[in-house]
Chains A and B, each alone.
Chain A
Amino acid sequence: MSKTKLEEINRNIYDIRNKDEFDFKIEKGLTKEIIEEISRQKNDPEWMREFRLKALDVYNSLEMPTWGPDLSELDMREIATYVRPKSKLNSSWEDVPEDIKNTFDKLGIPDAEKTSLAGVGAQYDSEVVYHSMKEDLIKQGVIYTDMETAVREYPDLVKAHFMKCVPVNDHKFVALHGAVWSGGSFVYVPRGVKVEVPLQSYFRLNSPESGQFEHTLIIVDEGASLHFIEGCSAPKYNKVNLHAGCVELYVKDNAYLRYSTIENWSKNMLNLNTKKAIVGKNAEVDWVSGSFGSKISMLYPMSILNGEGSKTEFTGISFAGKGQNLDNGFKVVHNAPNTSSVVNAKSISKNGGKCTYRSLVRVNKSATNSKASVSCESLMLDDISVSDTIPTCDIQTDDVEFSHEAKIGKISDKAIFYLMSRGLSEEDARAMIVRGFAYPISKELPVEYAVEMNNLINLELEGAIG
């Protein structure tokens, strides 16, 4: 069997091929004119246009982060090139390299989605497939649409929530996002409505740019519940190497939201994504997160437990291969009594890849009788890979139960020998151990995603042996 070595895929082929390339490069930095142009193209209402311009000011006033992975390769002057709306895209499915196509096949991605994922296809038309489901949702008053439509059609809902959970001055890339955001999903679940089927953004990928600065806004109103699944396991190709998306989750009193995501960016990407949830009284948000791909990732979803008795759980896995630096983690702030948070984070590194678990647990004075538990476990597949844990705890009350556990391990030769003595090849034995390690996360995913994640782990491992 031939081995697919994902790290060897030459993604340089994806460099911008636009004929207008030189025009773009003349521009230095992000200007008001560019933002105005984006706004015009998007047909923004006035408030959004102003919002973008304000965000641009904030962006220009903020410094690059000085902690975490080195982002110096990111040429911010080129941002203008990235975000300028392109009138015509001249890429096609034929231009997509065989390696990527094969990977799609191995992951079992349907054709229509493949073109979309490769960033060369038209919008994947999910309308027919999901028609009956949609009708059901509409009857219940659920709104599920793309972000641009939501801005135009539900201005009050959007205005009251858009970048209120993640303020534009949070950090430089959030400000950038505020100025240039494009695409993404909007979900509103009315009071008391329980959405039985998971909503999957997978099927609503639109233009190639939308995967780059997309905005997800989910509001689960009082007593309602929802499972939302974002992203997919196929390596997502973008011409540009920066991803700065934003996810805002509002989980109102007594509501429940499960937010699952698998991110697998192409390995030239810098993934600087910001995700936050505000959780109301007796409400709960659960995060399930798989982070694959990308060259550098800085991803720290955050739950803000504002309501008494609110809860959050984070279950996440990162997988870093050659040349990858995944700086991921989770942040939680306990602001009310009787709140609880549970974190179960895992990471796998191989071929010199680096995984860092960076976290924050803050328990404020008001959060009496709260519980916070963090467990992180790393698996290194060889001696050249790196794993690190950087936890921050800020606990301001004595009336709290807090635990933190970190484990770093390697696959033991004894375990490999044991499995080989049962007829498994070395490759099978390693894959079994790694899949077993990832199982607590994959079991939280819907079955088709769990299967994809296992396939992805197998693909990543094929290149790791021999």
Chain B
Amino acid sequence: MSSNLLEIKDLYVNAEDKEILKGINLNINKGEIHVIMGPNGSGKTTTANAILNNPAYKKEKGSIIFDNEDITNMRTDEIARKGVFMSFQLPEEIPGISVTNFLKYAKNKVTGKPVKVFEFKEELKKYMEELNMNSKNMERSLNVGFSGGEKKKNEILQMLVLNPKLAILDETDSGLDVDAINTVSKGIDMFKNKDNAVLIITHNTKILRNLKVDYVHVLVDGKIVETGDAMLAKKIEEEGYKQFKA
């Protein structure tokens, strides 16, 4: 069996009639942690949204294969059920549904199986302790009135509960203090195993410190201009993006 999980081939994507991605190629194998770094506006968030086929982003060319299946034009919910998860930079607030009920509902949809209430509660409790989350938040409406940090932790909680094959974290570390970044990083470490993979989209390297990163890709003006190992992230931290040209 192939260990390849995600393969993006020559992907061109427009957002609001503007060409954002200009021929992306990316391969992610099971068991790997990949990082995409790049300056503002380079197409990082677009890449994440394109994988989940957000209708606001139009694919002009190219294909995305996930787990041996072409998901290029698949509906977002189907892609999610295949095992792709995305942690949002700005998670949406949904009034009137509690975090617990939402997670139960989503887990049922993603797995296609009824959720065993007792096991689910135990699982939730365990993750919340690990992520230093306030259990009172679980009965609050999804993300409504949550602080920036609470929202991001809630995304990581969802990742752990839904247990996808590929987790895409879109700037999950932005706007977080050091403690919260460490918590998120711990969550990723808990999630990670030899059969799944993580794609971290970030500006900064703090979140990477405690993780064993396999590949770092530099995205500039809609193209991956360089790929390297964890050392590349360090180089960017010190020297910025100026050295890279599209």
Chain A residues in contact with chain B, CB under 8 A?
Answer: 412-415, 417-426, 428-429, 432-433, 435-440
Contacts and interface: CB of A to CB of B under 8 A. Distances in A.
Between B52, B56, B88, B96, the greatest number of chain A beta carbons within 10 A of the residue's beta carbon is seen for B96
Given A421-B86, A424-B77, A436-B96, 17 more contacts: A415-B92, A417-B54, A417-B56, A418-B88, A421-B76, A421-B80, A421-B85, A422-B80, A422-B158, A424-B109, A425-B75, A425-B77, A429-B77, A432-B102, A438-B96, A439-B96, A440-B96
A175 to B, nearest CB: 41
A432 B76 contact: no
B157 to A, nearest CB: 12
Contact of B95 (A423, A424, A436): A436
B55 interface: yes
Interface string B61-79: 0000000000000011101
Interface of B: 52, 54-56, 75-77, 79-81, 85-86, 88, 91-92, 94-97, 102, 105-106, 109-110, 141, 158, 162
9 contacts: A413-B56, A419-B94, A421-B76, A421-B77, A422-B102, A423-B110, A425-B77, A439-B97, A440-B96
A428 B97 CA distance: 13
B90 to A, nearest CB: 8
B76 A417 contact: yes
B162 A422 contact: yes
Nearest to B87: A421
A417 B56 CA distance: 9
Contacts of A422: 80, 102, 106, 109-110, 158, 162
A418 B77 CA distance: 10
A417 B96 contact: no
Nearest to B161: A422
Nearest to A418: B92
A423 B109 contact: yes
Contacts of B97: 432, 435-436, 439
A428 B108 CA distance: 12
B55 to A, nearest CB: 7
A380 to B, nearest CB: 16
Contacts of A419: 92, 94
A438 B77 CA distance: 24
A412 B75 CA distance: 17
Nearest to B110: A423
Contacts of A420: 75-77, 80
Given A417-B54, A432-B105, A423 B94 contact: no
Nearest to A439: B96
A436 B54 contact: no
Contacts of A421: 52, 76-77, 79-80, 85-86, 88
A274 B217 CA distance: 68
Contacts of B86: 421
Nearest to A422: B106
